[in-house]
Copies of this chain bind each other. A is one copy, B any other.
């Protein structure tokens, strides 16, 4: 069976996955870039932004990069929440919005966008966006059909990840704990008491100060 994988989900040491006051200009709210400060300097991030040739000589190559580089390996489809796709809420007033990522989105696979307000699927570069109103199990089934025998990545945001964890559908969960006390925002761990019983947990401290946790689903 292929796996459902979460990568690079950053939380503050007080368990918040995003700050308060999210907007188009401040997608992480008052957290700013502090939750992803470990990620942006990596070679893997440079490569994801579409400049593979430039990235060859750029970026860090340590443990943060190693984890970041695993993000796309063996992935055939992504599932994301609508809030990751764009800032609009409710019915689609503006279908010209095609995501944050320009003409060549970094996914290069089908992407299932979960929304209660479907709109026509479309392709952009090598990425196809499919809009579906589906519960986690059904969404995973759709994504697996699209993934061509490869794994499915669960792209977030935190609300979506929590819903799939509650439904016990996640096989691989990579969490990055950033040593800041964010104080306000969206809690990742709420409703997940005893989560560790279903997973083997490994932790790796990076010299940059973050700690990488890998939760690996125990064999059923």
Query: 1/0 contact trace for A186-197 toward B, CB 8 Å?
Result: 011111111110
In the complex with contacts A182-B193, A183-B192, A193-B184, A13-B177 CB distance below 8 A? yes
In the complex with contacts A15-B13, A15-B15, A181-B203 CB distance below 8 A? no
Question: Can you name the residue of chain B whose Cβ is closest to the Cβ of A175?
Answer: B13
| A196 and B181 contact, CB distance less than 8 A | yes
Q: Does A213 contact B (CB under 8 A)?
A: yes
Question: Can you name the residue of chain B whose Cβ is closest to the Cβ of A192?
Answer: B181
A and B contact pairs by CB, cutoff 8 A, 10 listed: A14-B190, A177-B211, A181-B189, A181-B196, A182-B193, A183-B191, A183-B193, A184-B193, A203-B210, A211-B211
Q: Does A180 contact B (CB under 8 A)?
A: yes
Q: Does A205 contact B (CB under 8 A)?
A: yes
Q: Which residues of B contact A177 (CB under 8 A)?
A: 13, 177, 211
In the complex with contacts A15-B14, A189-B13, A189-B14, A180-B196 CB distance below 8 A? yes
Q: Tell me the A residues contacting B by CB distance below 8 Å.
A: 13-15, 177, 179-184, 187-196, 201-206, 209-211, 213
Which of these, B183, B205, B210, contacts A194 with CB under 8 Å? Answer: B183
Copy total for this chain: 2
In the complex with contacts A180-B196, A181-B189, A189-B14, A204-B205 CB distance below 8 A? yes
Question: Can you name the residue of chain B whose Cβ is closest to the Cβ of A191?
Answer: B183
Question: Can you name the residue of chain B whose Cβ is closest to the Cβ of A197?
Answer: B180
The answer for the CA separation of A209 and B13 in the assembled complex, in Å, is 16
| A179 and B205 contact, CB distance less than 8 A | no
Q: Which residues of B contact A14 (CB under 8 A)?
A: 15, 187-190, 192
The answer for the CA separation of A13 and B195 in the assembled complex, in Å, is 11
In the complex with contacts A15-B14, A177-B177, A202-B193 CB distance below 8 A? no
| A209 and B202 contact, CB distance less than 8 A | yes
Q: Which residues of B contact A193 (CB under 8 A)?
A: 181-184
Q: Which residues of B contact A189 (CB under 8 A)?
A: 13-15, 181, 183
Add 18 more A-B contacts to A13-B189, A181-B194, A203-B205 (CB < 8 A). Answer: A13-B213, A14-B187, A14-B188, A14-B190, A14-B192, A177-B177, A180-B194, A180-B195, A180-B196, A181-B189, A181-B193, A183-B192, A183-B194, A184-B193, A203-B206, A203-B211, A204-B205, A211-B211
